[in-house]
Structure 1
Amino acid sequence: MHNRVGRTLLALGAVLALLTAVPATTASADTIQTGNSVCSMYVNAVGFGAYCSSGKAYMGGEPPPTWRERLNGRPFVPCRDFEIPKGIRLPQAPEGKTWVLRITITDYNLNSYNGGPDAHLERAYMPVDEQERAQCPFPDYMEQFWWRFESSYPDPALQIMPTYTPRVNIPAFFTLTPDSSMVLKQSGDLSGYYDPTHNLTMRGMVVELKIDPGDGTGPFICPVGVTPVDDPDGYDQTKDPDHQLNPCKHVYKKSSASQPDGMYTVKLTITWEVSYWIGKGTGWKPIGQANVTAVQRLPVQEVQAIGG
């Protein structure tokens, strides 16, 4: 039984600062069909998102119109240029050109309501000038075929138990707050929903927390998902520090009095894993992982004894 009376969970988001968010390469899932949508997803160290093509959600009733019917005699433009997602680093573009993310619908069938079973999206980071940009115009009527959504990771908020200021030779327990360790992003009204089993949802979860406590002992890795959802810090004040559920702990052997500003510099490496879900029975399917690095300044004090 967890004793919640008088418990103080100090979320230290205010003293955490993001240092770097440097993705290696964008990790993309294979193009998926979700309802009447064709979607391509990405994940990097800034966040995750999806680019989809098909049009607004079909909510039942008459069969959805084909792409050709929706075009109403107008030409279909299969490509569209987007801004480069945040976190993607590219070299300097050639003079007179700028980088774009060009997404092209290929192998589509205009006589279907969703581009057909072979339709998929191809992604390309490419430098373009005005003439090359004009190869993919975006007339107003094409708006119905495209949508995107994205989400950034929240700033990390570290909890330290049993007290904000750890004591020498007493274990300090570390966890991220629930709000800073998971992001659930649905695609909203333009979800590609056309029956109760199709609706694209993306989820980012922290799967690993690497902590360098700053005292020279080196980093250690904390498993994630050990503590219960309704008590994520896993600290029971009715038990002593050696009998806690949370395995993410560190024992400081010296106070931080000799450190700059009297505090240790704690470095965090937070590994996010992004997955997607498209309907009942499909389960969450991982796309890829990305790391975010942060720091915190942490005071550590000697144990104070009465009359000592």
Structure 2
Amino acid sequence: MHNRVARTLLALSAVLALLLFTPATTAAAETIVTGNSVCTMYMNSVGFGSYCSSGKAYVGDGSPPPTWRTRLAGRPFVPCRDFEIPPGIHLPKAPDGKKWVLRVTITDYNLDTYNGGDKAHLERAYMPVDAAEEAQCPFPDYMKAFWYRFQTDYRDPELQIMPTYTPRVNVPAYFTLTPYSSEIYETDGTTSSYFSPGHNLTMRGMVVQLTIDPGDGTAPFKCKTGVTPLDDPTGYDQTKDPYNQINPCKHVYQKSSASQPEGMYTVKLTITWEVSYWVGKDQGGWHSIGKADVHAVQRLPVQEVEAIGG
């Protein structure tokens, strides 16, 4: 789901932003059965994704969906598959002659069911493999029907400053992220089976906190955040002056940035993403997998002008 940004968005085209990713471990949700799939999910400081044990949904003529054994048509079932290491996972150098892979294995499955059975689950392992070990998990074309995955990175932060493009000394500057850069939805429509059409897997990444080091020597401050509405993407009331706004995410610069390198303060951002998932229509709403921080640096000019303009 990509939110449009209203025309009132202020584009900070002259400000540079640099994402800084730090080593991260994986926070994984409990493996779930959804439609005709068994899925496991992950998140880290770069993004999130899902690996599911079935591919495209079965669409039939009203009869029950075929079992895994039927779909195999006498061919061997290969329960494991190797994937590239997800972005953001940092591992030591692999031993000579080997490479790191993410090996996902379907275990405790029942071939006489359409989705692997209630006991089926996925196991994950980061392991170094040589050619012989890699050959233990071949991936023939017919096994494509049993796997689905998606992964996505967090969007680059788009910081908005109100009420002016360049903050003024002694005038509150209000900080928000654009709706587009603070929320991501990824929907796996292929996990909906003919047998259970309501069981979709949807993953969501949302910024829940923004920590700002304004770069002027004062202490960092935290802002609880959410996705701003399309009709008010900046969270700033243009009918009121900057001293009477309800947005608490603000900072007052006491000096201009004229003495700083390139005439700009270096603003350090810590963007806290929370990743959740939703299964079906009545499964208790969003279930959180965990949170991860993304760090960014942004240059910001501040002018020694107290009048509001820009």
Question: In 2 relative to 1, CA 153–16 (structure 1 residues): closer, same or farther, beyond 3 Å?
Answer: farther
Q: Give 5+ residue unaligned stretches, structure 2.
A: 1-6
2:243 aligned counterpart, secondary structure: helix
1:297 corresponding residue in structure 2: 299
1:57 corresponding residue in structure 2: 57
Question: In 2 relative to 1, CA 169–204 (structure 1 residues): closer, same or farther, beyond 3 Å?
Answer: same
Contact 2:40–2:51 (8 Å) recurs in 1:
yes
2:161 corresponding residue in structure 1: 160
d(CA) in 1 for partners of 2:193, 2:294:
32
Q: How does 1:1-308 map to 2 (within 5 A)?
A: 8-12=8-12, 15-59=15-59, 61-188=62-189, 190-194=190-194, 195-225=196-226, 228=229, 230-282=231-283, 283-303=285-305
Cα deviation, residue 233, structure 1: 1.6
- Listed one character per residue, the Cα deviations across residues 233-268 of structure 1 (whole Å, up to 9, x for unaligned) are 221121122221211000000010100011101111
Question: In 2 relative to 1, CA 109–300 (structure 1 residues): closer, same or farther, beyond 3 Å?
Answer: same
1:15 aligned counterpart, secondary structure: coil
Question: In 2 relative to 1, CA 227–139 (structure 1 residues): closer, same or farther, beyond 3 Å?
Answer: closer
**Structure 1 range deviating more: 248-257 or 230-239:** 230-239
TM-score of the superposition, structure 2-length normalised? Answer: 0.92
- Listed one character per residue, the Cα deviations across residues 178-218 of structure 1 (whole Å, up to 9, x for unaligned) are 00000011114x23444342111110000000000000002
d(CA) in 1 for partners of 2:13, 2:84:
30
State how many pairs are aligned: 298
Q: Which amino acid aligns with 2:57?
A: A
Cα deviation, residue 73, structure 1: 0.8
Q: Which amino acid aligns with 2:226?
A: G
Q: Which amino acid aligns with 2:125?
A: A
- Listed one character per residue, the Cα deviations across residues 279-308 of structure 1 (whole Å, up to 9, x for unaligned) are 112211111111111111111111256xxx
Percentage identity across paired residues of the two chains = 76
1:144 aligned counterpart, secondary structure: helix
1:174 aligned counterpart, secondary structure: strand
Question: In 2 relative to 1, CA 8–64 (structure 1 residues): closer, same or farther, beyond 3 Å?
Answer: closer
1:11 aligned counterpart, secondary structure: coil
Cα deviation, residue 229, structure 1: 5.5
d(CA) in 2 for partners of 1:304, 1:247:
21
2:180 aligned counterpart, secondary structure: helix
Question: In 2 relative to 1, CA 142–246 (structure 1 residues): closer, same or farther, beyond 3 Å?
Answer: same
Contact 1:227–1:245 (8 Å) recurs in 2:
no
1:243 aligned counterpart, secondary structure: coil
Tell me which stretches of 4 or more aligned residues in structure 1 moved more than 6 Å.
none
Q: Which amino acid aligns with 1:115?
A: G
d(CA) in 1 for partners of 2:304, 2:282:
54
Cα deviation, residue 13, structure 1: 6.7
The alignment yields a C-alpha RMSD, in angstroms, of 1.7
1:286 aligned counterpart, secondary structure: strand
**Structure 1 range deviating more: 222-231 or 30-39:** 222-231
Contact 1:54–1:115 (8 Å) recurs in 2:
no
Question: In 2 relative to 1, CA 114–196 (structure 1 residues): closer, same or farther, beyond 3 Å?
Answer: closer
d(CA) in 1 for partners of 2:248, 2:227:
8
d(CA) in 1 for partners of 2:21, 2:128:
23
TM-score of the superposition, structure 1-length normalised? Answer: 0.92
